[in-house]
Structure 1
Amino acid sequence: MTTDRVTRRLAAILAIDMVGYSRHMEADETGTISRQKTHRQELIDPILHEHHGRIVKTTGDGLLVEFVSVVDALESAVRIQRAIAKAEASLPRERRMQYRAGINLGDIVIDGDDIFGDGVNLAARLEGLADPGGISITASVFEQVVGKLDLAFDDMGEQEVKNIRKPVRVYRVRLEIMPEKRSASSRGVPEASGKPSIAVLPFQDMSPEMDQEYFADGIAEDIITELSRNHAFFVTARNSSFTYKGKAVDVKKTAGELGVRYLLEGSVRKGGKRIRITAQLIDAAYGNHVWAERYDRELDDIFAVQDEITASIVGVVAPELIGAEMQRARRKDPASLDAWDSVMRANWHAWRLTEEHCAEARKFADQALELDPRMARAMVVHATCDIWDVLYARGGHPGQLLARAQEMATRAVELDGRDAEAHTILGGVALFMRRYDESFRRLDTALTINPNLAFAHMWGGGGYALSGDSENARESLKEALRLSPRDPANYWTFAFLGLAEFADEHYDEAIEWGLKAIHLYQSFPTAHRLLAASYGMLGRVDEARAAVAELLRIAPGTNIASTQAGVPWKDGKVMERYLDALRQAGLPE
């Protein structure tokens, strides 16, 4: 005996329907049909296709669409609602077409090309609960999308819906936050699709006497202020994040209400003359900790402690957040990357340094610029890869590469004059072009914009090391390490410290820093070159030759001529000492 087995699958269902269809048809049947057809052909269908939505059925005024990805379902609904609103904005209010949309994630029954079941019915009911021009989603959708899209949500509570036995928890997508992002460009900040957002919640006072509220508030407010200097992400204003003061926080719910991807929370506890501050950065999409740290300090000068802790937290949070964004982008299908994700992929490849990785970095940077021609960070990636090509003798004449790097970095600064990283890389280009004074001016500008940017302290320290000011080099580089002790790019900081020691003829110390750099990143040519020169100066011939062999394995184009062109020692005597040691170690001319 056989029975027909019902085919089921889990899917995201979007139900979208025109508001007041009958009214529009009665007022202007021909015009309504024409505009609706235009919306379908030019806006709705292309967006659904881009997000892999399958139109299951159509009615006179609506659609039922199936998605494999719930993120794709919501992103397409948001884009459709915003596109329709923009297309209809020039018409009188009473003539504008609007749609309602509902999204559910649930089990559906498959019947040929059609779908049925409670999962479908609930999506249709949610559509009826949405505001005109709005989107309603179930809690199952909210749990999957919160933190993955830069959207805010309102919890509408449990709702009774027709033909569904249990009440359904419904969330409203807050589409009205869109103008806030558009206004960024009017302030001279380029729009960056997909750019992450963070909210700093009020720090809790956990002291026995509960007398440190002012200090806890001061820490959180200062962190908000300092993080806002970094143009890599949006920072929620204090007035919004401080509404959660004194409340128990549900990470996903709070992130959804604030429309952020990351939350920073912490606490303050005083005991006698000591104070303990804890802080943790949370990825709201997954509920996991990206970073957490504890700081114990003596309360000799409360304002000095507040400034020091703020700088330490801000210096760490920015690279940790960007690191999380790079990993997030690497998990996504390359075909589905937006401009921000593309530049994060580009950034990850660029800091691998090799010729192959730089080719991938440029590819993703170009993809980012196609999606958003104002993406300054994509231009920074291009400039960075050009610097690596000069340093490791790849890709053409050094002068031409540096001129191209300068052009890209200059364009990035022109697009966003408040982007400290763009100024930093322009300072790096000037250093490799041996325009030392200009380099320091650029780096000073970067640090004026963002004093907590470890990246700028690192490049500044490198500039000092190569121009012969070892004392300032050590000070800047140790500040970079203090601000961002776990930065994946600290192999550069260690190498620059080694170059400062080489300049001072402290070869044992130079070797120690070179080994630390290699421990952090094995395939780092600059560190192997530093080791070869330092071993050579100490007469440790076998170790020097081994370092050169490893250098040539990683960067086969390296030779004496490329080193002279790519390593901008200011003092000719230091340059000759460096090159002679490399010759003795076996580096070819």
Structure 2
Amino acid sequence: LFVISRMSAFTYKNKPTKVRDISREMGVQYVLDGSVRKTDEQLRVAVALIDATNDRQLWAEQYDRPFTNIFAVQDEIVQRIVTTLNLQLTLWEQGMLVRKQTNSLEAYDYALRGVELSFRAAYEAKKDLNAQARRMFEKAIELDPQYAGAYAGLGKVHYQDWFYVWSPHPAQSLEEAFQTYKTAVTFDDSLPIAHAILGEVYLWKKHHDQARVEAERAVTLAPSDADSLMYLGSILIFAGEPNRAIGLIEQAMRLNPRHPPAYLVSLAIAYRVMGRCEEALVPLQRAAALAPHFLQTRANLAMCYAELDRIPEAQAEVAELGRINPNFSLAWVTQRVPFKDPAIIERMVAAFRKAGLK
């Protein structure tokens, strides 16, 4: 079952868009439309499944349920879609369509807020947003101490504290990220994103084999999950398989047409590692337009421009890196970057020196 990422679908929220336009832009045949209304204790969900190729409504339904039973309503809607489309899914696949990670709606709300804040922290390079995200995930965990998704979000916060050197004790933050992801997997071993980002932490701890195992586990659990594919692709770049990584990242982009800038940067890193800097500039420049303060974009632009002997542009990117994060340095690169092949790290250092990074 090919399902477009919810992040891409959300771009049409509250916008008067024709179903056929959505179908063409997203590359899908079916569109699920609907609305949710909530009173103090009652929830009304109205949904309609539309075949976008002929604008024909396949079915419509209205669900009036107690507000505390939202997850049961989600399951019911999904099962109706499966029946209507006559999809040949296994019971396991049906069970994965809607995950009930918590029975606490308040915890779920805090976790959603945390996800938004942690994404903004990375793309806007703001330490305070990361701190706010931490509080949201911690509140979610207080409400549901076994909420695996909230632990996964909290692990991301710890990881960003380490990566961007926002923590006064970076090594401790990386270890906290590692332990928090392991807790998420303990509470829900079938949660793809927990395995995927646990793989990322293994990568930055320079445990390449374990990183690959976790990311491949995530893809096995959710073969159509764009983020899991992207994380696996990113890990393979550092492990020495950039060609395979490109295919996985492009597949992730197809599954999530509104992909975040990190997808573009990962694709560019694969090109750069292969010595294809001209090609790398295309996704990097797109990423820079989407998120001008994203550290990874500026760092890779600086290296590519340096390797292409476009020194003024490389120097401008290094200057921008200093404004975004004064902690970024040659020492950061040599001590942290987890390429399995030391020759690639030497190439990176040479490019950064050429661009003027100290």
Contact 1:200 1:223 (8 Å CA) reproduced: no
Structure 1, gaps ≥5 residues long: 1-69, 75-141, 149-170, 182-194, 205-213, 235-336
Which residue of 2 is the match for residue 432 of structure 1? Answer: 204
* d(CA) in 2 for partners of 1:464, 1:434: 12
CA contact (8 A) 1:532 1:582 kept: yes
1:228 paired residue among 83, 95, 118: 95
Matches within 5 A, 1:158-237: 199-200=77-78, 217-219=85-87, 222=89, 226=93, 228-229=95-96, 232-233=99-100
What letter corresponds to residue 341 of structure 2 in structure 1? D
The answer to whether the 8 A contact 2:159-2:201 is kept is yes
| Matching of residue 389 in structure 1 with residue 161 in structure 2 | yes
Cα deviation, residue 521, structure 1: 2.1
Partner of 1:457: 229
Q: Is 1:481–2:348 an aligned residue pair?
A: no
Match of 2:189 in 1: 417
Deviation at 1:418, TM superposition (A): 1.1
Counterpart of 1:264 in structure 2 is none
Residue 397 of structure 1 deviates from its aligned partner by: 4.1
The question of 1:345 aligning with 2:312 is answered: no
Residues 34-53 of structure 1 mapped to structure 2, 5 A cutoff: none
Shift in Å, 1:203: 6.5
Name 1:367's counterpart in structure 2: 139
Note closer, same or farther for the CA distance 1:232–1:514 as it changes in structure 2 (3 Å cut): farther
- Tell whether the 8 Å contact from 1:197 to 1:233 is kept in structure 2 after alignment: no
Q: Tell me, in whole angstroms, the C-alpha distance in 2 between the residues paired with 1:175 and 1:527.
A: 43
Cα 1:201–1:418 shift into 2, 3 Å: closer
Judged with a 3 Å threshold, the aligned counterparts in structure 2 of structure 1 residues 579 and 201 are, in CA distance, closer, same or farther, namely same
1:146 to 44, 55, 67: 44
Note the residue ranges of structure 2 that are not aligned, 5 or more in a row: 1-36, 47-62
> Which secondary structure does the structure 2 equivalent of 1:146 belong to?
strand
* Residue 587 of structure 1: how far off its partner (Å): 1.9
User: 2:216 matched to which residue of 1?
Assistant: 444
- In structure 2, what is the Cα distance between the partners aligned to 1:363 and 1:339? 12
1:277-308 per-residue CA deviation (whole Å, 9 max, x = no partner) reads xxxxxxxxxxxxxxxxxxxxxxxxxxxxxxxx
Equivalents in 1 of 2:297, 2:336: separation in Å? 14
**Would the alpha carbon gap of residues 196 and 534 (structure 1) be closer, same or farther in structure 2, given more than 3 Å must change?**
farther
Q: Which residue of 1 aligns with 2:23?
A: none
2:263 and 2:195 map into 1 onto residues whose CA distance is 18
| Matched AA of 1:351 | F
Give the number of equivalent residue pairs: 300
Q: Residue type of the partner of 2:44?
A: V
CA contact (8 A) 1:196 1:233 kept: no
Report if aligned partners of 1:464, 1:470 keep a CA contact under 8 Å in 2: yes
Q: Any conservation in 2 of the 1:231–1:418 contact (CA below 8 Å)? A: no
SS of equivalent residue, structure 1 residue 425: helix
Question: What is the rounded CA distance, in whole Å, between the counterparts of 2:235 and 2:68 in structure 1?
Answer: 46
Q: Does 2:290 align with 1:502?
A: no
What displacement does 1:432 show? 1.0
Alignment TM-score, normalising by the size of structure 2: 0.75
In the alignment, what sits opposite 2:40? 73
* Displacement of 1:197: 5.6
Shift of 1:223: 10
Which amino acid in the other structure matches residue 535 of structure 1? Y
Q: What CA distance in whole angstroms lies between the structure 1 residues aligned with 2:98 and 2:335?
A: 33
Distance 1:459 1:502, change over 3 A: same
CA offset at residue 174 of structure 1?
5.9
Alignment partner of 1:338: what SS?
helix
User: 1:372 offset after TM fit, Å?
Assistant: 1.1
Task: Check whether the contact 2:232–2:245 (CA below 8 A) recurs between aligned residues.
Answer: yes
| TM superposition shift of 1:177 | 6.4
- Secondary structure at 1:73 match in 2: coil
Q: Tell me: higher relative CO, structure 1 or 2? Use CA pairs within 8 A at least 6 residues apart.
A: 2
**Superposed counterparts of 1:85-96, under 5 Å:** none
Give 1:550's match in structure 2, choosing from 292, 299, 320.
320
Equivalent pair of 1:431/1:439 in contact (CA under 8 Å):
yes
Letter in 1 for 2:40: A
Q: Are 1:392 and 1:562, in contact at CA under 8 Å, matched by a contact in 2?
A: no
Cα offsets for 1:231-271 (capped at 9, x unmatched)? 6458xxxxxxxxxxxxxxxxxxxxxxxxxxxxxxxxxxxxx
Q: What corresponds to 1:78 in structure 2?
A: none
Q: Out of 240, 262, 280, which is 1:468 matched to?
A: 240
Task: Quote how far apart the aligned CAs of 1:479 are.
Answer: 1.4
Structure 1 or 2: more helix by fraction? 2
Q: Which amino acid letter does the alignment assign opposite residue 146 of structure 1?
A: R
Q: Report the structure number with the largest CA radius of gyration.
A: 1
Which position in structure 2 is the counterpart of 1:6? none
Find the aligned partners of 2:248 and 2:110 in 1 and give their Cα distance. 31
Which residue matches 1:560?
Answer: 330
Query: Which structure has more strand as a fraction of its residues?
Result: 1
Once the two structures are TM-superposed, the CA of residue 451 in structure 1 deviates from its matched residue by: 1.1
Aligned amino acid, residue 113 of structure 2: R
Could you tell me how far apart the structure 2 residues matched to 1:514 and 1:176 are? 44
Question: 1:559: how far off?
Answer: 1.1
Q: 1:198 to 1:521 in 2, by over 3 A?
A: farther
Q: Percent identity?
A: 28
Name the SS for the 2:129 alignment partner.
helix
Determine the C-alpha separation between the residues in 1 that align with 2:343 and 2:280: 18
Match of 2:302 among 532, 550, 560: 532
Partner of 1:58: none
Are 2:358 and 1:358 equivalent residues in the alignment?
Answer: no
Q: Aligned-pair distance for 1:378? A: 1.6
Structure 2 CA distance, aligned partners of 1:544 and 1:366?
40
Residue 52 of structure 2 corresponds to none
Please report the RMSD computed on the Cα atoms of aligned residues, expressed in angstroms. Answer: 3.1
Cross-structure match for 1:407: 179
Alignment of 1:229-268 (within 5 A): 229=96, 232-233=99-100
> Equivalents in 2 of 1:445, 1:146: separation in Å?
37
CA contact (8 A) 1:528 1:550 kept: yes
Per-residue CA shift, 1:326-365, capped at 9, x if unaligned?
A: xxxxxxxxxxx81000000000111121312111110111
Letter of the 2:271 counterpart: E
Per the alignment, do residues 199 and 477 of structure 1 end up closer, same or farther by CA in structure 2, a change over 3 Å counting? same
**Structure 1's 458 and 176: CA in aligned 2 closer, same or farther, altered over 3 A?**
closer
Q: 1:531 to 1:218 in 2, by over 3 A?
A: same
